[in-house]
Structure 1
Amino acid sequence: MIARNRHLADIAQGLRQFPVVALLGPRQVGKTTLARQVATRWDGHAHLFDWEDPDDQARLSDPSFVLRGLTGLVVLDEMQLRPDLFPLLRVLADRPGTPARFLILGSAAPELLRNTSESLAGRVLFHELDGLALEELPPEQWEMRWLRGGFPRALLAEDLEQSRAWRASLIRTYLERDLPQLGIKLPSLTLRRFWTMLGHYHGQTWNGSELGRALGVSDKTVSRYLDILEGTFMTWRLRPWHTNQGKREVKAPKVYLADTGLLHSLLGIGDEQNLLAHPKCGASWEGFVLHEILRQTHTGRDEAFFWALHSGAELDLLTVRHGRRLGFEVKLTRSPHVTPSMRSAQETLGLDHLFVVCHGNGPPWPLAPGITALPLYALGELASLY
């Protein structure tokens, strides 16, 4: 079992500060396993319930009666299946002395769980769990992590064939079972087609009109499809940064599939040789690295942007945190060099530092004043480099 120590520490801290912590992430990413580890370390009673387990459904036939009598830690798995219980959780969270803390697990974002934000405002901390990060794996597994993705069963499968089969099963189950359980009534073939098309747009700016024409639906419909995939942690958007300097800047967000393993499955990429020869190889690498940067720098989505001009200058990632502006360019090479586009971004955006994240390992090295080459596995040294 891989210890996800940072997540364990963050959840434990959240439970000390809030009566409810919502652990959110896609299906099969390890939420239940992580919750059991939290329960094992809990100093006191811990009670675990899963809304998909018939025995637990029977035990909680009268949830108010059962939950009111519990103390310590109460774990409620698959809470998106019981949105009617959020008003009850608000009452239980407001009891004097907080006799119980609640760790609720769900595979839909707060936007799809409106009752969470409405009923538990000020009482809940949201914590997102995604695939296994590089910092959680041995250094020699980074190429396998890129190819197979971060879902534990896909990454840790005995061989590549088993990994591909597991990812194919996840895609089918997500479309045919998980979305209908959330009340999303869409033909699975239509959404799969859209999801696959989105894979071909991975790392590009969003163009709903173009996708809509290809699918024969309206812009509004494809935007809804994207909202569904993002709300269930299958895609993510990177917002554009505007300098307000009169330049013709790109104003549409970039769209990425959240997991490179699922991206590769949807694109029919079978192994490493297929990946390196595929036209989306560079975009796949970019999304993989950007996700790692955001995780290792603890950057929130509201603190992350890209910048691009219609004339061609661009920056893959701009983070704005604690009064500092850091730029990141992602290059699938072991020998990056400074480009005019980097110079333009450095000057226009007023960057405190620009990092060129590249392939390979080893220590960082300077490329130019204010610009550092940073091998992927040296991301942990960011704090000491500027």
Structure 2
Amino acid sequence: MVPRQLYKIVETILAESPVTAIIGPRQCGKTTLARQFIKKDGTVHFFDLENPADQFALEDPIFALEQYQDELVIIDEAQRMPELFPAIRVLVDQKRKPGRFMLLGSSSPDLRRQSAESLAGRIITLELTPFLLSEINSSKDNLDKLWVKGGFPPSFLADDASTSLQWRIHYLRDVVERDLGLLGFNLPPERMWRFMQMLAHNHGQLWNKAQLARSLDIGATTASRYLDAIQQTLLVRRLQPFHKNLGKRLIKSPKVYIRDAGLLHALLGIKNRQQLLGHPVKGTSWEILVIEQLASCLPLGWELGFWRTSGGSEIDLLLISGGQVKIAIEIKAGLTPRPDRGFYEGCKNLNPAEEWIIYPGKRIIPFNKGKTLALPVMDAMNRLMEQN
């Protein structure tokens, strides 16, 4: 059992909120996390809406659930039963107390929409990601393993590289052939698979729907619809550009990433670390690993962004609060993390409070008379968590 960073947060929220929702991609560990609360307290009741028997048991949700007024009820894949949400609102309003319901879901937009419509003011939503570096031993070997295999538990914990890769390929096939249909997207599976591969080949690049549309022989509107569909599975991140009126010609398109580096490598046929280090995607693959690790420990109210001008000034990642850039970050996949000229130009324009370069090394290295620091990933995460 790998201890999850979110466990203590969930424990705190259960003591404060009537309804706690945990969202995350399928197979990232939501059910395993929730079952830890069952082991802790035998009065917890668990329903899995992928199980027909549990679906049948909740056909009349108010009648089925009102008997558990003083006990935690966990409902997995809650978004599959929209009528559940108004029923939970009624039950919570009848007896409002912390820790009544825990809802798990793999479809973030559906769960968020249903929660906003029916459970406003009664629910707090948390996101569980695949494994984080802070949850495993952060040794160099484990960092490399997390980078190559990704953080999904069955992939990361697989006995060998071949088993891990096979699991990731089957997982992606299930997403394309099964999950998107369950989300209401009736998309041709083979075309969607090609779309995913195209995203992988353009990973970390500016979103160009016209280019992808031409490659797949579909319309630009259809390409955007495909991206919206796959984003609902929580497997894709759109990183938005930061705009500030500085008289610069700024890039306004988002960058699109496959959020788990292991899934990215599976789509590209990268089998091991040696192949990854010789592949053109190495830099942007390391980039998304870093982005997802930092996103997991952002202080409350902070946002992610990037900066790029048409003249070539660029900052890979910005951490933003209240419209101000708190930290500007260059992400380097090599062990000689010297910042690029475009990074310094961007920092001169944006005047961030801190300047970081994040790289896969072990030492903290100062640049620019100590104003810029090269940091290992775990050091950067710790510095962010200290600001919470």
TM-score by length of 1: 0.93
Distance 2:320 2:112 in 1: 28
Q: Does 1:316 align with 2:316?
A: yes
1:82 aligns with 2:77: no
SS in 1 for 2:103: strand
Structure 1 residues 267 and 299: CA distance shift in structure 2, 3 A: farther
CA offsets 1:312-338 (integer angstroms, 9 cap, x no match): 110011111376611110011212224
| Alpha-carbon contact 1:83-1:113 (below 8 Å) kept | no
In 2, Cα distance between the equivalents of 1:15 and 1:169?
A: 35
- The 1:383/1:115 distance shift into structure 2, 3 A limit, reads closer
User: More deviation in 51-60 or 21-30?
Assistant: 51-60
Q: Which one is further off, 350-359 or 322-331?
A: 322-331
- Matched residues, number: 382
Alpha-carbon offset, residue 123 of structure 1: 1.4
Deviation at 1:49, TM superposition (A): 0.7
Work out the CA distance in 2 between the residues paired with 1:82 and 1:109: 14
| In 1, Cα distance between equivalents of 2:385 and 2:48 | 43
In structure 2, relative to structure 1, the CA distance for the partners of 1:347 and 1:193 (3 Å cut) is same
SS of corresponding position for 2:94: coil
The aligned counterpart of 1:59 is 57
Question: Displacement of 1:299 after TM fit?
Answer: 6.5
How far, CA to CA, are the matches of 1:304 and 1:113 in structure 2?
A: 20
Aligned to 1:116: 115
Cα distance, 1:62 vs. partner?
A: 2.9
| Equivalent pair of 2:297/2:385 in contact (CA under 8 Å) | no
1:272 shift after superposition: 1.2
8 Å Cα contact 2:75/2:104 also seen in 1: yes
CA 1:31 to 1:334, structure 2 compared with 1: closer, same or farther past 3 Å?
same
Contact 1:334 1:358 in 2 (8 A): yes
Q: 1:177-200 CA deviation, whole Å, 9 max, x = no partner?
A: 222222221111111111110011
Work out the CA distance in 1 between the residues paired with 2:95 and 2:111: 30
Q: How does 1:1-386 map to 2 (within 5 A)?
A: 1-4=1-4, 6-42=5-41, 45-70=43-68, 71-98=70-97, 101-111=100-110, 114-138=113-137, 139=139, 140-298=141-299, 303-321=303-321, 325-362=326-363, 364-369=364-369, 370-383=371-384
Q: Deviations over 1:141-163 (max 9, x none)?
A: 11011001110000000111110
Q: What is the identity, as a one-letter code, of the residue corresponding to 2:319?
A: T
Cα gap change, 1:164 to 1:99, in 2 (>3 Å): closer
Contact preservation (8 Å) 1:299, 1:319:
no
Q: Deviations over 1:282-306 (max 9, x none)?
A: 1111111111122234476x61110
TM-score by length of 2: 0.93
Whether the 8 Å contact between 1:112 and 1:231 is mirrored in structure 2 is: no
CA distance in 1, matches of 2:98, 2:350: 50
Decide whether the 8 Å contact of 1:51 with 1:78 is kept in 2.
yes
- How far does residue 60 in structure 1 lie from its aligned partner after superposition? 2.8
User: How far is 1:383 from its partner?
Assistant: 4.9
Distance 1:113 1:319 in 2: 24
Segment drifting more, 22-31 vs 90-99: 90-99
1:116 is displaced (CA, Å) by 2.4
1:72–1:99 Cα contact (<8 Å) kept: no
User: 188-197 or 49-58, which moves further after superposition?
Assistant: 49-58
Q: 3-state SS of the aligned residue for 1:69?
A: helix
Give 1:63 shift. Answer: 2.2
Could you tell me whether the CA contact under 8 Å between 2:209 and 2:223 is conserved in 1? yes
- Once the 2 structures are TM-superposed, how far is the Cα of residue 111 of structure 1 from its aligned partner? 4.9
Secondary structure at the residue paired with 1:13?
A: helix
CA RMSD, Structure 1 to Structure 2 (Å): 2.0
What secondary structure sits across from 2:102 in the alignment?
A: strand
Deviation at 1:53, TM superposition (A): 1.8
Gaps of 5+ in 1: none
Amino acid at match of 2:277: L
CA distance in 2, matches of 1:186, 1:86: 28
Render the CA deviation track for 1:182-219: whole Å, top value 9, x for unaligned: 22211111111111100111111111111111112222
Indicate how the Cα distance of structure 1 residues 99 and 109 shifts in structure 2: closer, same or farther if over 3 A, else same. closer
Question: Residues of 2 paired with 1:34 and 1:19: CA distance?
Answer: 18
- Change in Cα spacing, 1:268 to 1:29, as seen in structure 2 (3 Å) is same
* C-alpha distance after superposition, 1:365-385 (max 9, x if no partner): 211142111122322442599
SS at match of 2:296: helix
Residues 1:384 and 1:36: Cα distance change in structure 2 (over 3 Å): closer
Provide structure 2 residue ranges, at least 5 long, that are not aligned to the other structure. none
Residue-by-residue CA offset, 1:8-44 (whole Å, 9 max, x unaligned): 11112222222111111111110000001133335x7
How many Å separate the matches in 2 of 1:2 and 1:367? 36
Deviations 1:334-384 (A, max 9, x none): 12224321221221001111001112223x121114211112232244259
Is residue 356–residue 371 contact of structure 1 (8 Å, CA) maintained in 2? yes
Is 1:361–1:378's contact at 8 Å kept on the other side of the alignment? no
